[in-house]
Amino acid sequence: MSSLNTLDWLMIAAYFALLAGVVWYTMRKQETSADYFLAGRNIGWFVIGASLFASNIGSEHLVGLAGSGAKSGVAMAHYELHAWCLLVLGWVLVPFYYRAGVYTMPEFLERRYNAASRWILSLVSLVAYVFTKVSVTVYAGGLVFQTLLPELNFAGLNSFWLGALCVVLVTGLYTVFGGLRAVVYTDAAQTVVLILGSLCITGIGLYQLGGWGELREISGSARFNLWRPLSDPEFPWAGMLFAAPIVGLWYWCTDQYIVQRTLAARNLKIARRGTLFGAYLKITPVFLFIIPGMIAYALVQKNMLQMDSPDQAFPAMVSQLLPSGLRGLVVAGLLAALMSSLSSLFNSCSTLFTVDIYKKIKPAASEREMVAVGRAATFVVVGLGLLWIPAMQRVSGALYEYLQSVQAYLAPPMTAVFFLGVFWKRVNGTGAVVTLLSGFVLGLLKLGCQVYAGQYSLEQAAILPALQQMFIAYGNINFLIFCVVLFAYCCFTLILFSLLTPPPEAARIENLCYATNTAAGRREVRESWNRWDVIHTVIVLLIIVSVYLYFTG
């Protein structure tokens, strides 16, 4: 296994020099909360789209998606074909968010429902970031360093913890001082490095293997099929067909981590075009990350690559296949993925805490005070994420599967509340509060039982008391099937409790759902798009359908 040499380190140094230049350029004006949290609402479509992609594609994607490809083939590609969810964001939800003038998604829920729903979503979102983003991103980054620099050791810390902590520190510093403007502009630069690096590993991996035909032959038809039998214990087709969109619509359309980029747009037209550009970019991970994982699997079968686990597929290919210089470029891409996700996460956490919690507790807080609190809030979230990593390591399955399983437990309540709230004016705050509370409790209980079940083999579980066996059985329910059931429960609960209580006042929800759109609101939306927006939307959908058809067999 090759170590990094001088040329590799020079490539990495060049990446950090580029990053430093971008940060210096963007961090000069951070006087108000709008500057810090929404970049002064003055960001262009290219930067928005690139930031959407870079925020989504973290090191957990490079490591986790490649690991999933090595373990299961293209089964997880359903999540990467969610470019259509970005179209839903741009065409359906962004107009409501933008006209409401909100900073955060919980703030939108307060406008649509009530203050209690805002509090619930704010707190749960921060908890969810710890479980699904901080810990997973840092863990994936640690795996990269552990594979590339296994000999690194300092003060009793191995390469896993040293690498992860150093990148967290660097990312945290530029995020704390630069705000969202630094985040989105560094994301745009990191997107270029990330795509170039991933293209190198895909191309060289295919060349070493002997081409696409060799990959198909070694992998077999099952690994090239997006759809698995209903009896499949991991990815039953019904679960992927119904559960993946539930998670996708939550993540791309209602998650602060993603949507915050569109809120920073100059106007509604720019926001939508940013989502269209992001949709084009979102299609690429199937070929940039999943296919390399499948290549790694095929190379292992031919004894041309060594790796200890599926999650080492991408870093193993980097360290064993790439020549000097290119290896440094791809490592820079890995660092870009890790840092772009973390920077987006840090800024979103600080925005949620400051705007939705601190500002509610202390309404008279000055602009300078809010920026200071937002900077301080990120460190707490990072610490909690680091503490969760040991528990996360006990969850069975590859890294990306862990990430998707946790999101499947948290997404259904939010998807139900946002989308029913936009499409049906009758749902109210009481229904939203009951749905959010009960849905999150059921989802977090499932996560806890899954972690607990991961400690026992089938033989050990069989001799445990009945109550413990019940917890283990609950934890072992397929995460996709659980997601669908939980979403159905949340929709039923939201509708039931809304119908049992008075409807919301018409004046309160004006321009916050389709039925209450004013003539001026409809005219503003219509003026924000033209035929080119429609043409690009159709092109994205055709590409998605083509990929589905190719990988269905």
Q: Tell me the residue type at 326.
A: L
- Report if residue 412 sits inside a domain: no
SS3 260: helix
List Cβ neighbours of 102 (8 Å cut-off, separation of 6 or more): 108, 111, 263
pLDDT, residue 401, reads 64
Buried-exposed string 76-109: b where 16+ CB fall within 10 A, e elsewhere? bbbbbbbbbbbbbbbbebbbbbbbeebbbbbbbb
pLDDT, residue 59, reads 62
What is the number of domains present in the chain? 1
Please give the Cα distance from 382 to 130 (Å, whole number). Answer: 8
* Long-range contacts, stretch 76-80, CB < 8 angstroms, 24+ apart: 76/235, 76/290, 76/400, 76/401, 76/404, 77/226, 77/286, 77/290, 77/547, 77/551, 78/226, 78/240, 78/244, 79/244, 79/247, 79/248, 79/404, 80/282, 80/283, 80/285, 80/286, 80/289, 80/290
pLDDT, residue 501, reads 95
SS3 43: strand
- Report if residue 536 sits inside a domain: no
- Report if residue 472 sits inside a domain: no
- Report if residue 174 sits inside a domain: yes
- Report if residue 529 sits inside a domain: no
- Report if residue 507 sits inside a domain: no
DSSP 8-state secondary structure symbol assigned to residue 307: -
Is-contact 378 349, C-beta < 8 A? Answer: yes
- Report if residue 355 sits inside a domain: yes
- Report if residue 534 sits inside a domain: no
CATH number for the domain that contains residue 310: 1.20.1730.10
pLDDT, residue 472, reads 80
Range of 243's domain?
6-25+43-400
Going residue by residue through the chain (553 aa), what tens digit of pLDDT does each one get?
A: 456 778 888 888 888 888 778 777 766 655 556 556 555 566 889 888 988 887 787 666 777 788 888 888 888 788 888 899 999 999 999 999 988 888 889 999 999 999 999 999 888 888 777 666 776 777 766 776 776 677 777 777 777 777 777 777 777 776 766 666 777 777 777 778 778 878 888 888 899 888 898 988 888 888 888 888 888 777 788 888 888 899 999 989 998 878 888 888 888 999 999 999 999 999 988 888 889 889 999 998 888 888 887 878 887 888 888 888 888 877 777 777 677 777 777 777 878 888 888 888 888 887 778 877 877 877 777 677 667 666 655 544 455 566 677 888 889 999 999 999 999 999 999 999 999 999 999 998 888 888 777 666 666 666 677 777 787 888 888 888 899 999 999 999 999 999 999 999 888 888 889 988 888 888 888 888 999 999 999 999 999 999 999 988 6
Please report the sign of the dihedral spanned by the C-alpha atoms of residue 96, residue 102, residue 103, residue 109: negative
Please return the burial class of 133, using the count of CB atoms within 10 Å of its CB with bins 0-12, 13-18 and 19+: buried
- Cα separations (Å) of 268 from 74, 147, 271, 526? 35, 44, 5, 10
- Cα separations (Å) of 476 from 162, 227, 473? 34, 21, 5
pLDDT, residue 344, reads 74
